[in-house]
Structure 1
Amino acid sequence: MTVIANPRQRQRRTRTTRQRTLWNVFAIVLGLLWAFPVYWMINSSMLPDSKLLNETPTFFPAAPDLAAFAGVFTDKQFWSSLRMSLTITLIAVGLSLVSACLAALALSRLRFLGRRWVIVAVLVIQMIPTEAIFISQYKMLDSWNLLNSALGLAILYAGTVLPFITWMLKGFIDGVPVELEESAMVSGCTRTGAFFRITLPLLGPGLVATGVFGFLAAWNEFTLALVMLTKAGTTTLPLWLQNFQTQNRGTDWGGVMAGSTAIAIPVIILFLIVQNQMSKGMVAGAVKG
């Protein structure tokens, strides 16, 4: 038996199909606009200087020139800066995640006097410009003998992202029912044991999402590293890019683009590894209960 849809149903389906098509087209256009700067960076890194500085843009290089990449990967300072950036970033992410997880747990689970003011203070601290506290941070590291060191800069990076990561993790912990911890405590677990056995495994996507944010913030930071790393040979990758700008020859844009592409490779690898967990974390952070 064939069921014939009435005209209203056909119009509704047609309207839904058109709306879905328009949204798909809009998403594709938005994606292309987002991806174009990345493509232009990679494209420019494979162009010779004659075409790179030409007024007529070259969108598709017929004969890619990899001389800029050869100059990047044969530069010893690139590899030393890469090790410095990785060390600083990993320490900063580890410190910030551990500290933020404990702080978020206290703000989410404990009820103490002044709790709301502490939450407000976390947001207010996040609003303070980093440049406003450069002098105090410099003096602090100098008194600790941590200037020009990976640990000193990692501590500053961890403190910079700590308020925002704490706020993010609080939302994830709020999404885990407190009854799960209470059931574990009734079964004999301590509060700490209930957190590590019950809540912490459920925070995996949230930890990944916040960890990626901390990684990007530390990996791409420039001004704080410029102030705190003044010794020759102690540079991060963003500082290393300055080598392509000289007073006599100007800016080597091919080298800048090739170096920027090389710096983006670890970030791309990180996203490929954690993309599934990160997408779960973003969805979990938007749902409570």
Structure 2
Amino acid sequence: MGVLSQYIERPVSERGAGIATVQISLIRPVSEAVKPPRALWVPFPLGRPLGPPNRPDVQIDVLRQTLALVDQGAAPALLDYPDIIEDEALGEEGWSCPVIFPSLEPITESDSLKVQLRTEVQLLRPWFDEGRRSRGRTTVGISGKGPDSIDDMLQVLVDFSAGADITVPDIFAHPMPRLLRFLTADIKAFYFEAVTAKPGAMLPDSDTLEEWFFLETMAGDVFYQVREKLVSADMLVLIANGLEDDEIDTRLVLNPGTTAQVAEEVVRSSGLSRELFKVSVEDFQEGLVGRFARSIVPIMMRDRREERAKLAKTF
């Protein structure tokens, strides 16, 4: 956007529009490098450029200060929004998950895992309903199904993690494995909306929510298992096409040395379905290999699954 705004502000004689622009910056080093004509840097996490939810006073103030930059004569101009939100929240109750889950230990047996997941959903459902009531909305539904189908969504993930089953249940319309992307988005939305519904509690930042979900819930562990199946299929396709280990790491956005460490085990016991291989081959041929695996687990959490076992021992 910063580069685009430079073109928009160019005079008409230089094939620009001659229109003043303003923008909100979430990553200051990027804005410093790009040098947009006028930008307001805000100290909020990605996805919340206007500030925390349920704070219209802050959100309106951010908009006002951003629009006021149009009066800045000198460009480029990068101003900082004052970080006053944290001080106002000190008197609030600190955030914590409003429910206590029975166990952190992952269970590999499919039926037992499904029971644990149903328990999580049942414990979170009252808080989800409270959050939807207070907010007047929910973001669950990108898969085409609502919160009443969270159990079904998790069952699809469990079946896929067990045998890379890409059969699409009758209740869903999207094809596999694309459906996985939509299901994981809806499941995370359900969990996040539930645990942030406690009245009076300080809202956690996005990193805290991600850590809670992937390290403390069974659903988070299933996400890891789903990603491993997708990565394994893509890795085998790349190996079969003669790519070197370091290039495979780059293509699949893995830590350096990952392919060299796990490739032999993946080849020996992949546990993958023929149908999933076909999808990975098609993605490779179209230059899209790894697209589904990247959408399941965020980068900051991809290499932290082993922390679950350490966390479980502390309880």
Q: Is the TM value for this pair above 0.5?
A: no
Q: Which has the higher contact order (CA 8 A, sep 6+)?
A: 1
Max Rg structure: 1
Structure number having the greater helix percentage: 1
Structure 2 length as normaliser, TM-score? Answer: 0.26
